[in-house]
Amino acid sequence: MELLELILLLLICVVVSSALDQMISRVSLPLIQIAVGFTIALVIPHLANVYIDSEVFMMLFIAPLLFREAKESDRVQLWKNKTSVLSMAIALVIASVLIAGFALHWIIPSIPLAAAFACAAALGPTDAAAVSALGSTISLNKRQSTLLSGEALINDASGVVSFEFAIAAAVTGAFSLTEAIGSFAVLFFGGIAVGLVLGFVLKRGMLFLRRRGYVNTTMHVIYEVLSPFLLFLVAEELHVSGILAVVAAGLLMQEHHGNIVPAETAQREMVSNSFWEVIIFLINGVIFVMLGMQLPKVLHPEMMGGIRIPIVFAAMFAVTALIIIVRWFWLIGMGLRYKDPDTGVRGIKEPGRTVKEALVTTIAGPKGAVTLSIIMTIPLTMRDGSGFPQRDLIIFLTSGVILLTLLVADILLPVLSPKIVDESKERKLKLARIRVLEGVISEIRQTLDEYAESDYAPAARLALMRYRRRLMHERLSMDACAEMVEEMAQEITKVQQARADEIQKKSYDIPVAERAPFYALLREIRASLGYFGGMEDTGAKFESRKGRIFLKFARLKKRDYSDDQVARTYYDTCLFAIELEHAAIDYLKKVKEEEPARAEVADILLEEHEASLQSLWGRIHYGQEYSADAEAKERELCGFLYRDGAEGPMRLIGDVNTPLPEGIRNVTGEQFVKALQYADEVDATVLEMELNQIRRMRFDGELTETEARALREEVYLMQTSFFGH
């Protein structure tokens, strides 16, 4: 039961940390997850001590991580940089294990040398995923990215193999160099061989099933996700390295397609990538949360194996410093010998740049999920049944080194290698998006003008308002006018609410219970017009507590109205919404006349409210026998509606049992049915309109190819989401 509680708690922590990551942009996600885990361990300490079997931990966490990394790696770039990658992934790991292991044993002699080597071996793998969380704030060149990804792929395996040897020596108390070399060869090359054979079998098996039509997208994803677990288990049963088997199979099972692939292949790849993104995100998140849960153990001296806390922290900082220094000097040596294929210049001729790039690459290789996964597999007991020496201390030290390397990366990388953001490109893309949306909106409006009475009109009006909402979002994201637009929108909200309050005061003779359904519907109508962020509630409020209670019930429970009653409610509420739009339009016209500095923003919002007004009148006029263009007819339809300070009764909301005005047909239900019936068809059409608008603007030279490609990709994503329902 404790294990189930731990799993649920870990998943909740991952979700919470993801939400916090959106609020705290400067701190990388792994650090936030560690902080959340630390907090949970303080609040619920007993869950931090739940033990997970080492083999299960290795299979559940490391195998899928490495398999996905291998499948996504660039084999061409890895081969071009094979010498450097192997140097970092194998030779550097061995050097770090020896130096850090001896240092740890020297500082804390109670940690056996073999156990110290195991700790250092677990610290061999780097975590490129941790650095990717800083992707928006740092910049790495192509060689740095290739080295880091290649190193992260292979040093995981070398670190695990080194760790397994060190643990075996610590548990048995015996170590033979000859036997170690022989066992290493069997584990290393045997793991690769098993991985290649099984990878070939799995790949050919999938192709066989696919050619005979036995595989759909769901089965493909399940097959792929189960592969690393199967590979790991079989390799371990054959007494070779399961980790290397997973890596080798992942590299072999890569699939390469051309730019244009069949729709089935595209869908399969899209679903597979999305599924793996979620799985990898959860695995990394769970591991970092678990890392944070290990840190509070320092508050319990008994967990430190009798070692004083200052010595523990000294060891932690010393091991961290040694790992960073050894890695830095190793990379400097590699960089001085490296010859740039583009310029032909060796690094030794530009020592300043070489040293700086080496420092960036050094810091960009923090320890992370794989390291914690490995160290958590330390056995609880020795061969004779006694406890593993200083197990908790080793886990704590490793967790501390992971945290320190992440902190160093989080603090120094944005300073040493800041990401150069071309704000002008971002601004140009936003402006291009605004122009495209304006073009689509214009085309939809023209279509509505021509086919106002068609079956597609109700759905088209809703599509139009969604595009207007997108346009407003884009305009609000522009720094130049966002603040002014938002300020004026708030002013309009106050004007509309004041108008609604004025009307409400003249309607006190109508019982609250009868008015509540109208206000509930008003909120829905305003939301359909594109109002958001609380503005949809404007006018749909009661001043009294009794009214607010009735309004909540009206929103939760729909009344059993007849078609005629629904039509009357909808008709009156549309008139109410129309009056609020007129209030906004009158205010904006006044601003244009009296405040030239804000005239441009007022004009933008005026266009929005006039479009909303047109949409509302379109809903009332739809299916009627008179012309919808005459302002006189609009006045005639709502002759009881008074504006411009006129005195008299303001009966915008009446009795639901009152028949519709003479000449008005009840087509409300018909509108709703048609809006739902043709919604998908209209939405697909307007997305095609957007693509055509992008093509037209690109042909006319209004968009660059880069801008057009980015905008097309956005539409393709929307189409994928739409057709995937």
Q: What is the mean pLDDT of residues 537-544?
A: 68
pLDDT value at 604 more than 60: yes
**Minimum mean pLDDT range among 34-38, 326-330, 616-620:** 616-620
What distance in Å separates the CA atoms of residue 275 and residue 71, rounded to the nearest whole number? Answer: 14
Burial class (CB in 10 A: 0-12, 13-18, 19+), 627: exposed
The range of the structural domain enclosing residue 403 comes to 51-416
User: Is residue 401 located within the same domain as residue 461?
Assistant: no
- Both tokens of 461, joined, read 């009006």
Cα 271 to Cα 680, 687, 719, distances in angstroms: 22, 22, 15
Q: How many domains does the chain have?
A: 2
pLDDT value at 354 more than 50: yes
In sequence order, which residues have a C-beta less than 8 Å from that of residue 477 and are 6 or more positions away? 430
Q: Which residue has the higher pLDDT, 606 or 520?
A: 606
User: Is residue 508 located within the same domain as residue 578?
Assistant: yes
Contact of 101 with 117, CB cutoff 8 Å: yes
Range from 21-30, 169-178, 223-232 that averages highest in pLDDT: 223-232
User: Is residue 145 located within the same domain as residue 261?
Assistant: yes
Q: Which amino acid is at 641?
A: L
Tell me, yes or no, whether 12 lies in a domain.
no
Tell me, yes or no, whether 189 lies in a domain.
yes
Instruction: Give the alpha-carbon dihedral of 22, 28, 31, 33, to 10 degrees.
Output: 40
User: Is residue 456 located within the same domain as residue 394?
Assistant: no
Q: Which residue has the higher pLDDT, 3 or 653?
A: 3
Contacts 24+ apart (CB under 8 A), 442-449: 443/689, 443/693, 444/686, 444/689, 445/611, 448/618
Q: Which residue has the higher pLDDT, 631 or 721?
A: 721
Q: Write the DSSP string, 42-111.
A: HHSGGGGG----HHHHIIIIIHHHHHHHHHHS-HHHHHHTHHHHHIIIIIHHHHHHHHHHHHHHHH-TTS
User: Is residue 650 located within the same domain as residue 544?
Assistant: yes
User: Is residue 173 located within the same domain as residue 290?
Assistant: yes
User: Is residue 377 located within the same domain as residue 524?
Assistant: no
Tell me, yes or no, whether 16 lies in a domain.
no
**Minimum mean pLDDT range among 203-212, 441-450, 643-652:** 643-652
Tell me, yes or no, whether 443 lies in a domain.
no
- Both tokens of 364, joined, read 């960009």
Question: What residues pair up with 381 in beta bridges, in sequence order?
Answer: 387
* pLDDT score for 304: 64
pLDDT value at 324 more than 90: yes
Give residue 689's region: left, alpha or beta (phi > 0; psi -120 to 50). alpha
- Both tokens of 426, joined, read 């971002």
Q: What is the mean pLDDT of residues 525-547?
A: 72
User: Is residue 409 located within the same domain as residue 464?
Assistant: no
Q: Which of 108, 113, 82 is nearest to 97 (CA)?
A: 113
Binned at pLDDT 50, 70 and 90, residue 648 comes out as: very low
What distance in Å separates the CA atoms of residue 698 and residue 704, rounded to the nearest whole number? Answer: 7
* pLDDT score for 180: 67
Contacts 24+ apart (CB under 8 A), 411-415: 412/363, 413/131, 413/134, 413/137, 413/138, 413/360, 413/363, 413/364, 414/134, 414/137, 414/138
Binned at pLDDT 50, 70 and 90, residue 272 comes out as: confident
User: Is residue 197 located within the same domain as residue 147?
Assistant: yes
What distance in Å separates the CA atoms of residue 509 and residue 491, rounded to the nearest whole number? Answer: 30
* pLDDT score for 325: 94
* pLDDT score for 233: 92
Of the chain, the percentage scoring pLDDT greater than 70 comes to: 80
Q: Which of 659, 677, 695 is the last residue of a domain?
A: 677
Q: Secondary structure of 161-206 in the HEC alphabet?
A: HHHHHHHHHHHHCCCCHHHHHHHHHHHHHHHHHHHHHHHHHHHHHH
What distance in Å separates the CA atoms of residue 212 and residue 77, rounded to the nearest whole number? Answer: 34
DSSP SS3 for 374: helix
Q: How many residues does the chain have?
A: 725
User: Is residue 152 located within the same domain as residue 282?
Assistant: yes
pLDDT digits (tens, 9 = 90+) for 711-721: 888 888 888 77
pLDDT value at 633 more than 50: no
pLDDT value at 367 more than 50: yes
User: Is residue 213 located within the same domain as residue 66?
Assistant: yes
What distance in Å separates the CA atoms of residue 291 and residue 368, rounded to the nearest whole number? Answer: 9
Phi, psi of 322 (to 5 degrees): -65, -45
Q: Provide the 8-state DSSP code for 700.
A: T
What distance in Å separates the CA atoms of residue 453 and residue 296, rounded to the nearest whole number? Answer: 69
* pLDDT score for 622: 75
Cα angle, residue 291 at apex, residues 287 and 293 outer, rounded to 5° = 115
Considering the chain, what is the average pLDDT of its residues? 79
User: Is residue 292 located within the same domain as residue 336?
Assistant: yes
Tell me, yes or no, whether 62 lies in a domain.
yes
* pLDDT score for 514: 64
